[in-house]
Chains A and B, each alone.
Chain A
Amino acid sequence: DGGITQSPKYLFRKEGQNVTLSCEQNLNHDAMYWYRQDPGQGLRLIYYSQIVNDFQKGDIAEGYSVSREKKESFPLTVTSAQKNPTAFYLCASSRGLYDTQYFGPGTRLTVL
């Protein structure tokens, strides 16, 4: 089965802690993305990667970091510098940067 997986589904974190969200795809897609969705809001782009070992900031990159060491994996770290991290985080991938994106099931992060 090809697809995108994200883990964990729910994550709770204390203020001041860094946390890493996993995103894996076996679709052989080159491009991967991280979005954040807040209640009643549209998706906002955090980071994207067009190819392995390359990534670019999106609209709201402050307080986040990523890596792209493997084609299949694009983990997102939410750092303690992110002022309002509680949100629904969605990972997506596409064949190329301008192709249709497919989403993983998301991770709900709650900061306590």
Chain B
Amino acid sequence: RKEVEQDPGPFNVPEGATVAFNCTYSNSASQSFFWYRQDCRKEPKLLMSVYSSGNEDGRFTAQLNRASQYISLLIRDSKLSDSATYLCVVNSAERDSGYALNFGKGTSLLVTP
């Protein structure tokens, strides 16, 4: 049973391109959503939380579609330094019923000169 699914990629894009990743989740009761970035052999770092109304942080835009149960991340004007693996993370926990934070396996992005 895969709680969170992502296209593993790799996505190879030239500098300056716009790239989008999608992630689907299975639990309709999921409450909070995140994108993390993980560089090779390093720990995941929070990129952004995903809000119902969608949110933007510089070149990064995250959107949530609860009806279709998917989350997206859009990166505009890609930089070489954006090359990393992007993890979709879904918190399906309900208070007092236990913990359920599910990580996708990640989507690999390689930005080339």
| Chain B CB within 8 A of A2 CB | no
Q: In A30-77, which residues have CB < 8 Å from any B CB?
A: 35, 40-43, 45, 48, 50, 56, 58
Please count how many residues in chain A sit with their CB below 8 Å of the partner chain's CB atoms: 22
Query: B101 touching A101 by the CB < 8 A rule?
Result: yes
Q: Which of A42, A45, A98, A106 contacts B104 (CB 8 A)?
A: A42
Main secondary structure of the interface of A (DSSP, over half): loop
| Chain A CB within 8 A of B46 CB | yes
Q: Which residues of B contact A48 (CB under 8 A)?
A: 99
Query: A43 touching B44 by the CB < 8 A rule?
Result: yes
Q: Which residues of B contact A35 (CB under 8 A)?
A: 103
A43-B43 contact given A98-B32, A98-B93, A98-B95, CB 8 Å threshold: no
B85 to chain A, nearest CB (A): 10
| Chain A CB within 8 A of B45 CB | yes
Q: In A82-112, which residues have CB < 8 Å from any B CB?
A: 88, 90, 97-98, 100-106, 108
